[in-house]
Amino acid sequence: MTHLWVRAEQRPNEERVGLTPEGAAALIRAGIRVTVERSSVRAIPMDGYVAAGCEIAEENLWPKAPADAIIFGLKELPEDGTPLTHRHIMFGHAYKGQPAGRVLLQRFKAGGGVLYDLEYLVGEDGRRVAAFGYWAGYAGAALSLKCWAAQARGGIAGPVRKVPSKDALLAQLGAELAGLGRPRAIIIGALGRVGTGAADLCDAMGVAVTKWDMAETASGGPFPEVLQHEIFLNCILARPGCPVFVPASAKTDARKLTVIGDIACDPTSDFSPIKVYDRATDWDAPALRVHDDPPLDVTAIDNLPSLMPVESSQDYAAQLLPSLLTLTALDKGAWGRAKVEFDKHVAGV
């Protein structure tokens, strides 16, 4: 029997989960064994999983799970260097030259385990079968506006925390923008899920948006138009050949740009299109000031949907469930393609 083990997330400020109780019940009806770890932080209560008929395990017990269990989580595993012997479903961030990603692949190689990277779980058309993109865009745009508002008041954005709902986020943001004008924003990647979420947030807050996508960036740059907007929202997935949207010289170039929301958030990749910073920011310090006069802040948090953990979990889990129902055929379809991608990259470490 295929055995899916849903682990507790161990990363700070991570309350999302990729399987709801309703989804777990559907998997059990399909003959898949489901174990769910207890979690002190998960946004969706445990009671629903119990009622669905899941087996319950203690928090962070996954290293001792049966050898044939498929371990399912979202974000990073603890960086303790231990060999990884199980098959894991997660966002690995390991295939674009990231230093931490290479270490992760070495752990899989040492333990004989397999990574089914959710970023590379794609259909025949190459499109992800499930993505948090919309909510990443929505939250990333909100955070960028928070950074802009803090700048307008002579400061820098302070800590951010989760909100119970989209409406609560909009109310909070409205209060922070009270008495201020509105910046102009440019979104690159505006036609995708991330860009759509970012544009919807901007629209809700009365922010005028210039929407660019592949057609507008086909020239390869440079793109001086980016510097003529107060906020730039990067919503594209960095890949080889990606143009540079913000060169290192932008710090001192003449510009109206004061906030970069790198929603794609891949600063350690060689393909990053934003060259004015080199590390992600976090919930306690969401803005990184890369130039003082005039100010230029970058916000780049890599688990943005966690700002709205319930809505983003429910949305993502609904998208992913059809693929989870095919776990009995791991060598085929999207899972087979993800395995091919893993094999290709692990061979290089």
**Position 190 confidence tier, pLDDT thresholds 50, 70, 90:** very high
247-266 residue pLDDT tens? 999 999 999 999 999 999 98
109-152 residue pLDDT tens? 999 999 999 999 999 999 999 999 999 999 999 999 999 999 99
- pTM (2 decimals)? 0.83
The percentage of residues in the chain with a pLDDT greater than 70, rounded to a whole number, is: 100
DSSP letter at 240? Answer: T
Give catalytic residue positions. Answer: 75, 93
The C-alpha torsion from 300 through 301 and 305 to 310, rounded to 10°, is -150
Helix %, strand %, coil % of the chain (to 5): 35, 15, 50
Mean pLDDT over all residues of the chain? 96
64-89 residue pLDDT tens? 999 999 999 999 999 999 999 999 99
Nearest to 100 by CA among 80, 72, 122: 80
> Side by side, which strands form the sheet with 288-291?
208-212, 184-188, 231-234, 259-262, 296-299, 288-291
Listed in sequence order, the residues at least 6 apart from 96 whose beta carbon sits closer than 8 Å to its beta carbon are 238, 266, 269, 270, 271
- The domains of the chain, with CATH numbers, are 3-120+308-346 (3.40.50.720), 133-307 (3.40.50.720)
The pLDDT of 193-209, averaged and rounded, is: 98
pLDDT at 98: 85
pLDDT at 310: 92
Q: Residue 218 pLDDT more than 90? A: yes
The pair of structure tokens assigned to 18 is 């990729």
**Bridge partner list, 117:** 90
